[in-house]
Amino acid sequence: RAVALQRHSVSLLIDFLETAEQTALTIVNQQGLEFLQINPEVMGTSTDMLRRAALILLNMARVPDNRNMFVLHQSRLLNLVMSQVLDESVSNTLTEVLFECSQVS
């Protein structure tokens, strides 16, 4: 609840995910996908932290009163879902976020 009350929490969490995704993409382009899979910490964060950020977004999106906070960010979430370098569990969670945002209360 406290996170949802912060004005820019959704934007900041998505920024965190986008930064990690961009870093991962740069690493894949320079070093290859296998290098990233063996050394995920080179993203500057852990896969677990990315999962946690996605889960926070999901829990926020499940509250009908919070859904309007996601309207401006749906295209950003969709771009992350389609990412080829993000962990599959993170992408799946973000897919659930988009689904929750589409629900009419």
In the chain, which residues have pLDDT < 50? none
pLDDT given for residue 1 in this prediction? 54
Range of the domain at 32: 2-102
Structure tokens at 62: 């499940």
Predicted TM-score (pTM) of the model is 0.90
pLDDT given for residue 35 in this prediction? 93
Q: What is the pLDDT of residues 87-98, one digit of tens each?
A: 999 999 999 999
State the total domains in the chain: 1
Contacts of 4 (CB under 8 A, 6+ apart): 60, 63, 66, 69
Q: With beta carbons less than 8 A apart as the criterion, state whether 20 and 52 touch.
A: no
